[in-house]
Amino acid sequence: MNYRSTRDTSNTPAYVSSAEAIKKGLAPDGGLYMPDSIPHLSSGDVEALIPLSYARRAAYVLSMYLTDYDKAALEADCEAAYSEEKFPGGAAVLRKMDDTFSTLELWHGPTCAFKDMALQIMPRLLSRALSMTGEKLRAHILVATSGDTGKAALEGYRDVPGVDITVFYPVDGVSRMQKMQMTTQEGENVNVCAVRGNFDDAQNGVKEIFSDAALADEAKKAGSFFSSANSINWGRLAPQIVYYISAYCDLVKNGSIKLGDEINVCVPTGNFGNIFAAYLAKTMGLPIAHLICASNSNCVLTDFLKTGTYDRTREFFKTMSPSMDILISSNLERLLYVVGGAELTSRLMNELKENGKYTLPADIMAKIGGVFSGYYLSEKETAETIGRTFDKFGYLIDTHTAVGVGCAEKYVTETGDKKVTVIASTASPYKFAADVAASLGRPIDSDEPSEILGTLSSISGTEIPAPLKRTLTLPVRFTRVVDASEMPNVALKK
């Protein structure tokens, strides 16, 4: 299977292998890599996957896309990435709320958020890509983070052969718990550094390093090249397709549906990555009828799906679901490409860059509208959903999952469509414990992580996840704080 840029308008696109797409991340023309065709998943394929473990299901689905990878190698990597040790509660856990709703808990990994699902496997895929493409240099992954991605990337890349990782976080821009998770990171090839300024300062600093040819030269002399772990990398997207297929298998297995029955899927999303993975599962042939795109007050996607106009020129809100506080949904570009082709995608992405907005042609919009519906929740509605879900089901959900549950409820109320619906649950409630407790009407008057976690545990009668509990006991390893101007030195290990 060949990969090409979403913006490559030539008749003979510049194809690359999946290993190259994963190594490069972004295409040279600024577009995102996509396979030249979407593989087909038959009903027989799904049936064959039902008795398998998550790791085996993952290897099967990934091998349909990563055709240049050795199958046995993919199986070994999936077994290691989704092992009992890494995901003690199971990798993608279906939890039935009622006859319509089941959540798909994707946060039983090392950092208690769904990014582990991709970032546990992607480093292994990159490591193989380096040897498959004959790369002699070490890859040095640079990440700017506002919290969740940094920790998940550190856990994923720690001690991976041929790779180093440095994570930059804004010194006052992450929560106490997130800071503690990163500064206590274990592993021989990891580095963590605070940057004076906000997330944008850290992010711009990393972007400048990536575009500085002199720095690249210096790194090369020292034996490495800079690379990113960004969510637009195909190596992060492909593993996310797996859990929707896995969830369908588990619904058949537990008797909620019969093989062939259609389901709906609801995803709380910001960058459009997680929901696009569900769209690919549907396009492959998995019986998904409708996709519900759930947003917080930064409802740029809700408005887009309602009007056909994507407009990022709007007020930005800081919400209690911060991992979805995004105004540029990068992976939407992949949907535009699948539905409208490279010519249209290239034109619209230009308009977005120049004017901050674009409008889809009506026929393309009709295609998208037939599959996706967008809803959003205000902060008040998000808090109410956490309280209501706990009261009704005794089920504690985090702020992002709550956006998904509340939007799925809105969709059912509006349409009466009560098909079995899988709602992606993207973080442990303990990752956003203070807001979750406040939503239950029990605000915690402390910013000490151990106290916040302990209080949520006693309020809710649930266990603190083991990885977070362990973080509280680890020594701090990384204390360096720099100005943004010093970031290149950190990247060059000076």
Ligand X SMILES: *Cc1c(COP(=O)(O)O)cnc(C)c1O
- The residues that touch ligand X, with contacts defined as CB under 6 A, are 113-115, 148, 231, 268-271, 273-274, 323-324, 400, 426-427
Alpha carbons 212 and 225: distance in angstroms, whole number: 12
Candidates 23, 24, 115, 179; catalytic one: 115
**CB neighbours of 32 closer than 8 A, spacing ≥ 6?**
5, 6, 26, 232, 234, 330, 331, 333, 334, 337
- Least distance to ligand X, CB of residue 396, Å: 15
Closest to 62 measured CA to CA, from 85, 41, 91: 41
Longest dimension (CA), the chain: 63
Nearer to ligand X, 252 or 407 (CB): 407
Alpha carbons 488 and 229: distance in angstroms, whole number: 18
- Least distance to ligand X, CB of residue 400, Å: 4
Q: CA 486 from chain center: how many Å?
A: 29
What is the rounded end-to-end Cα distance, in angstroms, of the chain? 41
Alpha carbons 225 and 136: distance in angstroms, whole number: 10
Nearer to ligand X, 35 or 270 (CB): 270
- Least distance to ligand X, CB of residue 119, Å: 11
- Least distance to ligand X, CB of residue 231, Å: 5
Nearer to ligand X, 273 or 467 (CB): 273
Nearer to ligand X, 277 or 342 (CB): 277
Nearer to ligand X, 119 or 195 (CB): 119
Q: Is 151 a catalytic residue?
A: no
Nearer to ligand X, 45 or 325 (CB): 325
- Least distance to ligand X, CB of residue 424, Å: 8
- Least distance to ligand X, CB of residue 269, Å: 4
- Least distance to ligand X, CB of residue 427, Å: 4
Nearer to ligand X, 332 or 440 (CB): 332
Six token digits for residue 461:
């009668």
* Active-site amino acid positions: 115
